[in-house]
Amino acid sequence: MFTTARNVTQTLAPAVPRKITFLIAKPKYHNKGLQQWKINTKSQVLCRNFSSSIKTNASARTQITRENTTKRSKENPFKKYFKFRYISLGILTAGFIFYNTNPNFHDLSHHLYLTAGRVKVVAKATFNCFYHYKKTLGLQDELSEKDYDEELKRCHKKCALITLEALEKNGGIYIKLGQHIGAMGYLLPPEWTDTMVPLQDHCPVSSFEEINLMFKTDLHLPNGLDDMFDEFDPLPIGAASLAQVHIATLKKKYGGNKVAVKCQHPSLKEFVPLDVMLTQSVFNLLDIVFPEYPLSWLGDEMQQSIFVELNFLNEAVNAKKTQEYFNSDKKFLKQTALKVPDVIEAHKRILIMEYCKGARLDNLEYMDEHNISRSEVSSCISNIFNNMIFTPNVGIHCDPHGGNIAIRATSKGRNGHNFEILLYDHGLYRYPNTQLRRDYAKFWLSLLDNDIPNMKRYAKAFANINDEEFPLFCAAITGRSINTVLTSDITKAPKSTQEIEEMKSRFLKDSKMLTILMSILAKVPRIVILILKTNDLTRHLDECLKNPLGPERTFLILTQYCSKTVFDETKENIAKKHHKWSIMWIWSSLENWCTYEKRMSQLFFYDISLWLRNIVRKLD
What pLDDT, on a 0 to 100 scale, did the predictor assign at position 117? Answer: 73
Residues pairing with 40 in the sheet: 46
What pLDDT, on a 0 to 100 scale, did the predictor assign at position 228? Answer: 95
Residues 6+ apart with CB under 8 A from 564: 390, 596
Question: How far is C-alpha 611 from the chain's CA centre?
Answer: 42
178 and 195 Cβ atoms separated by less than 8 Å:
no
Please enumerate, as own/partner, the contacts of 114-118 that have beta carbons within 8 Å and a separation of 24 or more.
Answer: 114/270, 114/271, 115/271, 115/274, 118/170, 118/271, 118/274, 118/275, 118/278
Distance (Å, whole) CA 205 – CA 207: 6
pLDDT in tens, 171-201: 877 888 887 777 666 567 788 888 888 887 6
428 and 308 Cβ atoms separated by less than 8 Å:
yes
Residues pairing with 393 in the sheet: none
- Least Cα distance to 187 among 526, 475, 535 occurs for 475
Helix axes 470-478, 452-463, angle to 10 degrees: 80
Burial (CB count within 10 angstroms: exposed 0-12, middle 13-18, buried 19+), residue 513 = middle
Distance (Å, whole) CA 47 – CA 22: 8
3-state helix/strand/coil string of 33-79? CCCCCCEECCCCCEECCCCCCCCCCHHHHHHHHHHHHHHHHCCCHHH
Distance (Å, whole) CA 115 – CA 457: 49
What pLDDT, on a 0 to 100 scale, did the predictor assign at position 305? Answer: 83
With the C-alpha atoms ordered 208, 213, 219, 225, is the resulting torsion angle positive or negative?
A: positive
What pLDDT, on a 0 to 100 scale, did the predictor assign at position 496? Answer: 60
What pLDDT, on a 0 to 100 scale, did the predictor assign at position 11? Answer: 44
Question: Rg of the Cα trace of the chain?
Answer: 37
Distance (Å, whole) CA 320 – CA 395: 11
Distance (Å, whole) CA 233 – CA 251: 14
pLDDT in tens, 27-62: 444 444 444 444 444 444 444 444 444 455 666 656
524 and 463 Cβ atoms separated by less than 8 Å:
yes
Q: Which segments of 290-359 does DSSP mark as H helices, in order?
A: 296-309, 312-327, 330-336
Amino acid occupying residue 144: S
> Parallel, antiparallel, or unpaired: how do β-strands 229-232 and 243-250 relate?
antiparallel
What pLDDT, on a 0 to 100 scale, did the predictor assign at position 567? Answer: 96
Amino acid occupying residue 324: E
Question: How far is C-alpha 189 from the chain's CA centre?
Answer: 21
What pLDDT, on a 0 to 100 scale, did the predictor assign at position 38? Answer: 46
DSSP per-residue codes, 97-136: HHHHH-HHHHHHHHHHHHHHHHHHHHHHHHHHHHHHHHHH
Distance (Å, whole) CA 581 – CA 329: 30
Q: How many Cβ atoms sit within 10 Å of the Cβ of residue 164?
A: 20
Residue spans of beta strands (DSSP E) within 151-300:
229-232, 238-239, 243-250, 258-264
Please enumerate, as own/partner, the contacts of 201-209 that have beta carbons within 8 Å and a separation of 24 or more.
Answer: 202/168, 203/175, 203/239, 203/240, 203/241, 203/244, 204/171, 204/172, 204/175, 204/239, 204/241, 204/265, 205/236, 205/239, 205/244, 206/244, 206/263, 206/265, 206/266, 206/267, 208/234
> Parallel, antiparallel, or unpaired: how do β-strands 350-354 and 258-264 relate?
antiparallel
Amino acid occupying residue 213: L
Q: How many Cβ atoms sit within 10 Å of the Cβ of residue 9?
A: 16
Name the stretches of the chain with pLDDT < 50. 1-54, 99, 105-106
Residues pairing with 350 in the sheet: 263
Distance (Å, whole) CA 453 – CA 400: 32
Task: Count CA within 13 A, CB hemisphere, residue 17.
Answer: 7
What are the sequence ranges of the domains in the chain? 5-73, 312-430, 434-619
What pLDDT, on a 0 to 100 scale, did the predictor assign at position 15? Answer: 45
What backbone phi and psi angles, to 5 degrees, belong to 345? -155, 140
